[in-house]
């Protein structure tokens, strides 16, 4: 077995490394381990078709041994496991590996062993992706190589491998989910950003306290130079960090004791009496987006980015795909893609964003959410009907009761068709599922693209 207790003494050369899961992170980890001289074996329960021929060809070109459609006994003939974030720590596979004393790490942890570059890690329940993209744009103004990776379509391992092959001064902006923190041991970001905390992934973590504890693993290994920046207006985060003796800074849209302060539609930097910009000049509207922008701006300012560069991004950043994304207007009916809304709090934010009558499409794989929490917002935000689809449809219908017209539908295609048929001029059809996508799609991106493809077909109808 590989001893992973001392990060500086970890050596995987000529050791058996098993990668469980051949998603983007798994493929990246396999390539990095292979480059470092390990004997890599990769296993995925999904079939070749589900994984994709390009990914399989890439692995074969690297001469990496793989198996698909099964996790055979071969996976336990290993000195180290690199585990997909999709596999929980209480799964039977993990329990068996633990019994065999096989050390297990996440892909994020594994990649962090092989870079000395600074890491800015972003976590939270909502707003991670937007915050990461905004911060990335702000950091482009510095003469550094900024790379976004993590839970956003680019694996950290793949990025670190590129840095090893072509060394350059790099700063990593990582979006990190609670799943990716389950098997971290030495991960220590230079800056950790916490956007907010609300109920999410209870099906995986079993309780809110366990979910919060998993998020806090990001600061477990903090060194003297490390800094955490968190949302001062979030009671859960404020309580969580109250007694932690680490370097702390906060952001807020309510307080006047933070780096950026908001007063009378203007955003000020604490060091200047001059306003940086007006809230009305910001491209991304809504309080939820304002939090994301101020979070990124606070980090950028502490990292040395000038106010004029921060101002430019605040005023020009247009948002990220699948998050309250306006797809089309057909016969004065707007179609909004909010596929990234995978929890209840995200749906609430979406409902509060619009004043027009709404047809809300909810559904997918329920992660343990309580849909009754939506009732006050459905009642007060002019929701005309809820189209419930997928595995969670029955739970949604039961939770909403008679509070709103609710229609149960099998799949997303049928849900969009139904929403279109009952929508009137001036209405909004809003896909904000409040659930994971795993019942019918591989991820929220695939779900969002599918939604957009249906809407594009509706545009062509006479």
Say what the pLDDT of residue 48 is: 65
Say what the pLDDT of residue 141 is: 73
Q: 308 and 361: one domain?
A: no
d(CA 448, CA 446): 5
Say what the pLDDT of residue 348 is: 93
Cβ partners under 8 Å of residue 254, min gap 6: 232, 233, 262
Q: Is residue 256 part of a domain?
A: yes
Q: 49 and 96: one domain?
A: yes
Q: 305 and 199: one domain?
A: yes
**Total number of domains in the chain:** 3
d(CA 371, CA 396): 6
Q: 256 and 372: one domain?
A: no
CA dihedral 191, 197, 200, 202 (to 10 degrees): 90
Q: 57 and 130: one domain?
A: no
End-of-domain residue from the set 84, 107, 130: 107
Q: 169 and 309: one domain?
A: yes
Q: 11 and 85: one domain?
A: yes
End-of-domain residue from the set 316, 345, 380: 316
Nearest to 339 by CA among 319, 359, 325, 356: 325
- Residue 100 has which token pair? 């065999």
Q: 180 and 277: one domain?
A: yes
Say what the pLDDT of residue 283 is: 84
Q: 404 and 444: one domain?
A: yes
Say what the pLDDT of residue 200 is: 77
Report CA torsion sign: 375, 381, 386, 388. Answer: negative
Residues in the chain: 462
- Give residue for tokens 């604490």: 270
Q: Is residue 201 part of a domain?
A: yes
Q: Is residue 220 part of a domain?
A: yes
Say what the pLDDT of residue 201 is: 77
Q: Residues 107, 108, 112, CA angle at the centre, nearest 5°?
A: 115
Residues of the chain with pLDDT under 70: 48-55, 153
Q: Are 43 and 106 in contact (CB under 8 A)?
A: no
Q: 269 and 129: one domain?
A: yes
Q: Is residue 55 part of a domain?
A: yes
Q: Is residue 1 part of a domain?
A: no
End-of-domain residue from the set 316, 333, 358: 316
Nearest to 387 by CA among 358, 345, 352: 358
Say what the pLDDT of residue 153 is: 65
The structure's pTM equals: 0.83
pLDDT mean across residues, the chain? 93
Query: Domain containing 186 — which CATH number?
Result: 3.40.1190.10
Query: Domain containing 65 — which CATH number?
Result: 3.40.50.720
Say what the pLDDT of residue 204 is: 80
Q: Is residue 121 part of a domain?
A: yes
Which residue range forms the structural domain that includes residue 76? 7-107
Query: Domain containing 354 — which CATH number?
Result: 3.90.190.20
d(CA 378, CA 21): 39
Q: 45 and 141: one domain?
A: no
Q: 166 and 232: one domain?
A: yes
Query: If you ran DSSP here, which 8-state letter would residue 19 be given?
Result: E
């Amino acid at each position: 077995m590989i001893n992973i207790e001392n990060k500086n003494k970890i050596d995987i050369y000529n050791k058996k490394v098993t990668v469980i899961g051949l998603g983007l992170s798994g493929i990246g980890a396999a390539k990095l381990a292979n480059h470092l001289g390990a004997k890599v074996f990769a296993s995925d329960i999904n079939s070749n078709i589900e994984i994709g021929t390009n990914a399989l060809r890439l692995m074969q070109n690297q001469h990496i041994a793989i198996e698909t459609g099964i996790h055979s006994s071969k996976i336990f003939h290993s000195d180290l496991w690199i585990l997909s974030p999709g596999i929980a720590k209480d799964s039977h596979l993990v329990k068996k590996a633990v019994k065999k004393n096989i050390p297990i790490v996440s892909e994020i942890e594994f990649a962090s062993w092989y870079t000395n570059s600074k890491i800015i890690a972003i976590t939270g329940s909502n707003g991670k992706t937007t915050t990461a993209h905004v911060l990335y744009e702000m950091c482009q103004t510095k003469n550094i190589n900024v790379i976004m990776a993590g839970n956003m379509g680019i694996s950290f391992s793949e990025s670190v491998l590129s840095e090893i092959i072509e060394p350059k001064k790099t700063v990593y902006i990582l979006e990190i989910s609670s799943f990716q923190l389950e098997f971290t041991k030495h991960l220590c970001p230079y800056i950790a950003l916490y956007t907010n905390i609300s109920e999410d992934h209870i099906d995986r973590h079993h309780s809110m306290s366990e979910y919060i504890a998993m998020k806090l693993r990001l600061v477990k290994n903090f060194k003297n130079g490390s800094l955490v920046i968190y949302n001062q207006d979030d009671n859960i985060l404020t309580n969580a960090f109250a007694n932690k003796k680490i370097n702390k800074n906060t952001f807020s849209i309510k307080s006047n004791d933070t780096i950026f302060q908001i007063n009378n539609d203007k955003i000020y930097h604490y060091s200047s009496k001059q306003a940086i910009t007006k809230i009305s000049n910001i491209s991304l509207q809504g309080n939820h987006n304002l939090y994301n922008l101020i979070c990124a701006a606070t980090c950028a300012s502490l990292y040395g980015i000038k106010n004029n560069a921060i101002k430019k991004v605040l005023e020009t950043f247009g948002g990220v795909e699948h998050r309250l994304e306006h797809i089309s207007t057909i016969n004065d009916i707007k179609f909004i893609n909010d596929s990234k809304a995978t929890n209840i709090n995200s749906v609430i934010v979406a409902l509060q964003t619009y004043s027009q009558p709404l047809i809300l499409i909810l559904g997918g794989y329920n992660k343990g959410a309580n849909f009754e929490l939506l009732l006050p917002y459905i009642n007060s935000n002019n929701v005309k009907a809820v189209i419930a689809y997928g595995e969670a449809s029955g739970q949604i219908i039961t939770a909403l009761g008679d509070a709103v017209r609710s229609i149960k539908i099998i799949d997303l295609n049928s849900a969009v068709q139904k929403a279109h048929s009952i929508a009137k001029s001036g209405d909004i059809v809003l896909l904000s599922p409040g659930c994971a996508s795993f019942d019918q799609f591989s991820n929220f991106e695939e779900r969002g693209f599918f939604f957009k493809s249906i809407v594009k077909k509706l545009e062509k109808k006479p």
